[in-house]
Amino acid sequence: MSRAAAVRRKAVSPRSLTMPIETLNLPAIAGGKPLFDQLLPIASPEGLPSDEFLADVRRIIASRYLTNGSFVREFEAVCADYLGVPHCIAAANCTSALMLVLKVLDLNGEVILPSFTFHATAHAVAWNGLTPVFTDCDRDTFCLDPDSVRGRVSKKTAAILPVHLFGVPVAVGQFEKLAADLRVPVIYDAAHALGTRINGARLGNFGAAEIFSLSPTKLLVAGEGGLISTRDAALARRLRSARNYGDAGDHDPDVIGLNARMTEFHAALALRGLAGLEDRIARRNEVRLLYERRLRRVPGLRFQHVPHDAHSACKDFAIIVDEETFGRGRDWLASALAKENIEVRRYFWPPVHRQKLYRRVWDGRPLPVTDEISDRVLCLPIYSSLRNADVENVCDAIIRASEYARGPFAHPRPGLERTV
Ligand SMILES: *Cc1c(COP(=O)(O)O)cnc(C)c1O
């Protein structure tokens, strides 16, 4: 134990206080009783059907079509209708869908993307032999910053790959303009953003394509799954071949494809989950606002900004911890909340350009906003089944951690030390 920690420990020992310790609102990390008896998970798969899904399974088995059948076709049609986009292509997962979109666009050179994202975004670029050019994000929305992107454009720029982060849409208007000016495609990693709206319209209609994830922590769950939306009929046709080994049906592939087909079972699961998606997004927004209302006054915390014309799908809820003002850093708060039995995540840390696979690929140009956000970000539990009482309890845990971090126990004053 460090000297400072020893002092801290002594300072809160009952003997040193006139008040009995149990009346103090001490965080669990300082010896208080954890606010949760059982672990509160950070995420929980949503929209899972019960018995009706078993009937779907029986139908699939009876049909003898386990993949590429009527459930996948129906899922694609329902999604196209939901997103208001002409073409949807289902895939085995979002990562392979991203890989295939970059592949069929037949790109060469550099792809501009954020570093503050999940590493799969970068994997899709690297798998295609393209060079990732990591670019800074916006301080408020945490999404790829269009102005920073302009500074990274070169003759080798082949595409731009923004990410609608945590459900908040990137500045699509600016990216669409940039794409037109530069005549390069924009492909959106929309893994977090199924159901996100801008000016009332759902994402899915922007750029060359947008790619959604249907894995268990995302908005709509297929078990594993991905979905590509595009306005481009020719691109949609090529993608249908590409997910089927590149084979359009004549056994003479046009592209080195993958087997990235969605199975009928996964499509059936996702179809059932679509029914309640809007309600789940509305509930997630309630949870977000509940957090923000309670935590707004905590010194040293701020939140991701949702632009006024956007309705976020709220895939994640992140706080940014400023060590100076909060009294302790993000990592301390993460430990403090873990001791309260609250599952939290430093998401995304480390940023992709600092991960071992990509350190060597990174061009070394500084990404100050990315580094700052990544060092300070902490994601809290959010899902539609989260109860208000649990949200309040998480807030209580953060508030008492904050009071402790700024209070006399964390920074013992000389007088208090001497009384021990
Ligand atoms: C989850 C995720 C992916 C990958 O999705 P899978 O369906 O798991 O392959 C890609 N990009 C981002 C930003 C993600 O969060």
Residue 231 and residue 216 in contact, taking contact as beta carbons nearer than 8 Å? no
Residue 408 and residue 47 in contact, taking contact as beta carbons nearer than 8 Å? no
What's the chain's Rg over C-alpha atoms? 24
Asked if 79 and 14 sit in the same domain, the reply is no
Judge if the beta carbon of residue 93 lies within 6 A of ligand 1.
Answer: yes
Residue 240 and residue 233 in contact, taking contact as beta carbons nearer than 8 Å? no
Q: How confident is the model at residue 22 (pLDDT cuts 50, 70, 90)?
A: low
CA atoms within 13 A on the CB side of 403: 10
Asked if 40 and 137 sit in the same domain, the reply is no
Q: Where do we find the tokens 């060590």? A: 323
* Position 222 pLDDT exceeds 60: yes
Mark which of 274, 303, 331 sits at the end of a domain. 274
Instruction: Say if strands 201-202 and 197-198 run parallel, antiparallel, or are unpaired.
Output: antiparallel
Asked if 32 and 86 sit in the same domain, the reply is no
Q: How far does residue 18's CA lie from ligand 1's centre (Å)?
A: 53
Asked if 302 and 231 sit in the same domain, the reply is no
pLDDT for res 411: 52
- Residue 124 CA, closest ligand 1 atom number: 10
Pocket test for ligand 1, best of 116, 118, 166, 214 (most atoms within 8 A of CB): 118
Q: How confident is the model at residue 276 (pLDDT cuts 50, 70, 90)?
A: very high
Residue 236 and residue 230 in contact, taking contact as beta carbons nearer than 8 Å? yes
Q: What is the mean pLDDT of residues 130-145?
A: 98
pLDDT for res 68: 87
* Position 3 pLDDT exceeds 70: no
**Per-residue pLDDT tens over the stretch 138-185:** 999 999 999 999 999 999 999 999 999 999 999 999 999 999 999 999
Q: Report the alpha-carbon distance of residue 279 to residue 266 in Å, rounded.
A: 21
Asked if 212 and 293 sit in the same domain, the reply is no
Mark which of 248, 274, 300 sits at the end of a domain. 274
Judge if the beta carbon of residue 210 lies within 6 A of ligand 1.
Answer: no
CATH code of the domain covering residue 90: 3.40.640.10
Judge if the beta carbon of residue 244 lies within 6 A of ligand 1.
Answer: no
Q: Fill in the DSSP letter of residue 205.
A: S
The strands making up 157-160's β-sheet, listed across from edge to edge, are 131-135, 110-114, 157-160
**Per-residue pLDDT tens over the stretch 92-106:** 999 999 999 999 999
Angle (nearest 5°) at CA 177 between 171 and 182: 125
The strands making up 87-91's β-sheet, listed across from edge to edge, are 87-91, 226-230, 209-213, 187-189
Alpha helical stretches, state H, 248-300 = 264-274, 277-295
Judge if the beta carbon of residue 313 lies within 6 A of ligand 1.
Answer: no
Judge if the beta carbon of residue 191 lies within 6 A of ligand 1.
Answer: yes
Please enumerate in sequence order all residues whose Cβ is within 8 A of that of 242, keeping only pairs 6 or more positions apart, or say none.
Answer: 100, 103, 104, 255, 257, 258, 260
Widest Cα–Cα separation across the chain = 86
Mark which of 274, 294, 317 sits at the end of a domain. 274
CATH code of the domain covering residue 336: 3.90.1150.10
Q: How far does residue 164's CA lie from ligand 1's centre (Å)?
A: 11
Asked if 94 and 231 sit in the same domain, the reply is yes
Q: How far does residue 98's CA lie from ligand 1's centre (Å)?
A: 9
pLDDT for res 18: 54
- Report DSSP letters for 127-154, one per residue: HTTPEEEEE-B-TTT-SBPHHHHHHH--
Residue 317 and residue 382 in contact, taking contact as beta carbons nearer than 8 Å? yes
Number of residues written out for the chain: 420
Asked if 301 and 155 sit in the same domain, the reply is no
Residue 410 and residue 7 in contact, taking contact as beta carbons nearer than 8 Å? no
Q: Report the alpha-carbon distance of residue 338 to residue 334 in Å, rounded.
A: 6
Asked if 214 and 123 sit in the same domain, the reply is yes
The strands making up 317-321's β-sheet, listed across from edge to edge, are 301-303, 317-321, 377-380
Instruction: Say if strands 317-321 and 201-202 run parallel, antiparallel, or are unpaired.
Output: unpaired
Q: What is the mean pLDDT of residues 213-238?
A: 97
Domain encompassing residue 314: 3-44+277-419
Q: How far does residue 97's CA lie from ligand 1's centre (Å)?
A: 10
Q: Report the alpha-carbon distance of residue 110 to residue 97 in Å, rounded.
A: 19
Asked if 72 and 180 sit in the same domain, the reply is yes
Judge if the beta carbon of residue 401 lies within 6 A of ligand 1.
Answer: no
Judge if the beta carbon of residue 95 lies within 6 A of ligand 1.
Answer: yes
- Tokens representing 25? 């609102």
Q: How far does residue 417's CA lie from ligand 1's centre (Å)?
A: 50
Judge if the beta carbon of residue 94 lies within 6 A of ligand 1.
Answer: yes
How many of the other CB atoms lie within 10 Å of CB of 278? 11
Judge if the beta carbon of residue 120 lies within 6 A of ligand 1.
Answer: yes
Judge if the beta carbon of residue 162 lies within 6 A of ligand 1.
Answer: no
* Position 415 pLDDT exceeds 80: no
Q: Write down the mean pLDDT value for the chain.
A: 93
Instruction: Say if strands 157-160 and 226-230 run parallel, antiparallel, or are unpaired.
Output: unpaired
Q: How far does residue 171's CA lie from ligand 1's centre (Å)?
A: 20
pLDDT for res 185: 98
Asked if 313 and 412 sit in the same domain, the reply is yes
- Element containing residue 125 per DSSP (H, E): helix 119-127
Protein residue with its CA nearest to atom 13 in ligand 1:
118
Asked if 216 and 250 sit in the same domain, the reply is yes
Please enumerate in sequence order all residues whose Cβ is within 8 A of that of 11, keeping only pairs 6 or more positions apart, or say none.
Answer: 408, 409, 412, 416, 417, 420
Q: How far does residue 118's CA lie from ligand 1's centre (Å)?
A: 7
Distance of CA 3 to the CA centre of its chain: 39
Asked if 383 and 363 sit in the same domain, the reply is yes
Per the structure, the count of domains in the chain is 2
Q: Report the alpha-carbon distance of residue 37 to residue 60 in Å, rounded.
A: 42
Judge if the beta carbon of residue 125 lies within 6 A of ligand 1.
Answer: no
pLDDT for res 266: 98
Q: Report the alpha-carbon distance of residue 332 to residue 27 in Å, rounded.
A: 12
* Position 7 pLDDT exceeds 50: no
